[in-house]
Structure 1
Amino acid sequence: MGTGTGWGNSDGGVPDGFGPPEYHGNPFAPPGSRPAGPPPGPYGTPAPPVPPPARWQAPSPVERQLYEAKTRGDWSGYFDVLGRNWLYTAQRRAFLDAHPGEVQFLPHFSPQVGGVCLTVLTEGVLPAPVADPVYSSASLSWYADAWDPTDPPWLAVNPGTPSEAYFLTTPEHRARWKRHTAAEIRPGLRLRALHVGGALHGTVAHGLACGALLSVNNGELWNALGYHGRGYRRERTRLQEWWDITTPEEWRDTLERLLSAEMVSPVWEFALRVRRGLALDFGGAVELDHWRTVAERVVRRNAERAAEPRITPEGVTPGTPADEGEVSAQAAGVRRLIGRIARYEARFRADGLLEDGRFIRTLEAWDYGRASGMARWGLAARFGTLAETEAAVVRASSVARANYRSWEEFSAAYILGRCLHFDEEEFGDWYENALACHRILTTDPASPWLNIPWK
């Protein structure tokens, strides 16, 4: 194969858990309905078995599309589906840790073709994550290029499921695979769900839906608690590059800080807290100049208090006078921040993110939404367990419900946090993509936000 150590194993076999599900035949097909070998044809695949009854529910649209193409004998269409989705293969975790950037083909014998196969799975049929094995994902084109003459003569797709198929791996056949690979694999800005094995109702589903803006933006299954993402190695790389997380301890610390809303900027929260207090005091909308003036006054008053002596258990402790230039800079910064928030909110109202007369009370949603994502990312990277992930997702649901009154209110707060963090008032992709995700989640009939009550 192109990378790794080939498909031979030093122990002469595949360790437990690394092969495909044990095959017991298609439970919906009568005995003897499967042909013994591939018929003539360019794809070298067995003919489709008798269709399962209507009660069979595909885990996701990918498996449904594969099954439909297989049932009508449309192998070109079958490969089109494979070509626009990531294909996963089991890996020894120790091997990936020791050989970054490499993939090892782990073969198995298949009685269906009477030969050795490499199994690849589509996302909807991946098993729940365990410590070992882990999975790597790649495009169909990558597999076509990585194969070499010592690798298995057969490719098994989703064995043991109604969407299964087996394909020869000769150079001629692999050349055809490449013609079906899409230019972009599984693009973002799509609502995708797991219909079998994914949470659709209840507290876990609510907690996962708190991270749906991220899932839709990335084109990921929003409700897959047993999350693999792009595979073990890539999910570890993502956490390292975006969050500087490289250990289970760092992941747990970051997750706890997100669930406690300790990563959202305290300056943002200060500015919004001042406006919230004014709105409560005066019972209505707060004028921008009034908000700025009071916020600056509070900044200066806090500096004065810091300079005053304090009585502590050790006695009288002298205060720490603040430099006037520093205090003035802080006050000016808060005034600028208030202007940014006001301009974003005006744009939100114009785009339907925020109702007229409404304002954003707190940006804790920015942390809670990311906490829902972080729980799953850590599982995919094997920094945490499935039980830890579920507990964190349930907690994300609880704190979000305690601080917000609707999906729309939560969404506006999350998006404002995202924009203040990344967008720098450009109203570019960071904003436009978030707006597109919000619109999908508030209008698509299959959206969790339209099917799971906020409280």
Structure 2
Amino acid sequence: MTTDSWTAPSIDDRGLLAARVADDLDAYLAVLARLDVFVPRREADQGSKFGLRRSVVKLNQLTVYGQLNNAIRGTSKSALTVSQEYDTTRRGARLILPVYTRALLPAERPEGVYFQRNLFPAWVQDLAKQRQTMQLVVNPGTPEERELNVGKAAHWMRKDPQLVGGWSNLRGTIRTVYNEPAQGDLARALACGAHLSVTNAVPWNTMGHAWLDYHSERELLSQWWGIEGPVQWQNQVDALLDNENPQPVDLVLGIRTERGAGVQPSGDPAQDTELLTQAVDAWCRDRGAPERLAQEMTDIAQWVVRCEMWMRRDGVITPDAIVATQDSWDWGRCVNMARWGLSCGFCDRTTAEQIVRHAGNLCARTYADWGQMSAAYVLGRVIKMGRQGNPEDSYRESLQLHRALMLDPASPYLTVPLH
């Protein structure tokens, strides 16, 4: 295939294409050494469904959702180990395993196959340790295609460790694929979930595919969201989109606006905290709120003032600004919930897009600009997630995301209008 009428669909693919055209194996491996790739896998009990030219290569109890994926998601959850098979083919006498970059995944997957996400350098070294003998073919059928020997690729990674990246290098990076929407309503809506995309090292503007990293996504939904099937997934989508039944943090922010309790920051956090906690206490007394709820709302009020003080200090919001609603925290997560639903087979592409667009429309109606929306996400993340652990650590992580999205030229917040 010639490159005359073909455009590489991502920055990473441009690097692979340039190295392939130059026939520079070192440059080709240097791109892969910092990249995540997708490998076709199938369950062991589905082998009879495949044609005679398909071969079986088993992976003996390797971690499917283990330290690599834990690192990218920032979790120490236990690993899920599953014995599965690579979906290999034959090229003459050679056993071939296709390897894909995200932007060049096949539109249609083979029957019964899902695509497992791996960090290429660590994965290829694991293959070499198992003495796997198949050849890898990267992005077959494209001008980037190159066949690699497992042992030689693993040796290159060990020989040049300074060129090898990890999940930590991919996290926090704004990634874009050029063969999916980069402008328009869908792109705008996808950008509303960009905080989590950047956290998970996923291109901000991709919807993904069905059965994409299926086992890891199922495990994530089970462990972090308690979702085991499509009904629970739909219930969670509905809850994230629901702003008719406010949660405690929403109540606190609403009380502040309704009662004018610190709506105009005084510059004295202690005074603003006292005003807001008094307003919350009065609201709870007026409505006979349960003691546990009242205590939680008081704690939230204190953290709201503290977090906003940090945000003013760091330029996330202006000196006289407050965050009126943290809804973008839920709506941004809903964008990603739609992606996960698609990858796990809980919904089809059309349904996933409808959910994404709905969340995007809510964000556009609620926030004046990306900066305001991102600040609301930061506050929501610190109050709802940070208080379960270390709020200051959560804030520092959120601040890095905010700055990347507001300053990086590759960010949709600088290229896609919210309105």
TM-score normalised according to structure 1 size: 0.74
Q: 1:141 to 1:219 in 2, by over 3 A?
A: closer
**Matching of residue 291 in structure 1 with residue 254 in structure 2:** no
Change (3 A) 1:433 1:228: farther
Q: Which residue of 2 aligns with 1:435?
A: 399
Shift of 1:261: 3.9
Q: How does 1:27-426 map to 2 (within 5 A)?
A: 28=2, 52-53=3-4, 56-92=6-42, 95=45, 101-110=82-91, 115-128=94-107, 132-138=112-118, 139-146=120-127, 151-152=133-134, 154-169=135-150, 171=151, 174-176=154-156, 178-179=158-159, 182=164, 184-185=166-167, 187-196=170-179, 198-227=180-209, 231-261=213-243, 266-279=247-260, 288=272, 289-303=274-288, 327=291, 330-424=293-387, 426=390
Instruction: Please give the secondary structure, in 2, of the residue aligned with 1:104.
Output: strand
Question: Contact 1:366/1:414 (CA < 8 Å) preserved in 2?
Answer: yes
Residue 107 of structure 1 aligns to a residue whose secondary structure is strand
Matching residue of 1:452:
416
Deviations 1:389-432 (A, max 9, x none): 11111111111122222211111111111101232395543211
C-alpha RMSD over aligned residues: 3.1
AA aligned opposite 1:105: Y
Q: Cα gap change, 1:431/1:282 in structure 2, threshold over 3 Å: closer, same or farther?
A: closer
Evaluate the alpha carbon distance shift between residue 367 and residue 159 of structure 1 in structure 2; reply closer, same or farther with a 3 A threshold: same
Look at both structures and tell me which one has the larger radius of gyration over its CA atoms.
Answer: 1
1:80–1:180 Cα contact (<8 Å) kept = no
Three-state SS of the structure 1 residue aligned to 2:86 is coil
Moved segments of 4+, more than 6 Å = none
Q: Secondary structure at the match of 1:108?
A: strand
Taking only the aligned residue pairs, the percentage that are identical comes to 28
TM-score (norm 2): 0.80
Amino acid at match of 2:401: C
How far does residue 94 in structure 1 lie from its aligned partner after superposition?
A: 7.1
Distance 2:188 2:126 in 1: 42
Q: Secondary structure in 2 aligned to 1:105? A: strand
Change (3 A) 1:94 1:352: farther
In proportion to residue count, which structure has more helix?
2
Counterpart-to-counterpart distance in 1, 2:88 and 2:281: 67
Gaps of 5+ in 2: 48-60, 62-80
Q: 1:240 to 1:128 in 2, by over 3 A?
A: farther
Aligned mates of 1:348, 1:78 — CA distance in 2: 42
Which residue identity does 2:103 align to in structure 1? G
Shift of 1:295: 2.4
Q: CA deviation at 1:143?
A: 3.6
Count of paired positions: 376
1:331-385 superposed Cα distances (whole Å, 9 cap, x missing partner): 4543332221111111101111111211111121111010011111222222222
The amino acid of 1:158's aligned partner reads N
The 10-residue stretch of structure 1 (157-166 or 443-452) with the greater mean CA deviation from structure 2: 443-452
Give how far 1:214 is off. Answer: 0.9
1:251/1:221 CA distance change after superposition, 3 Å: same
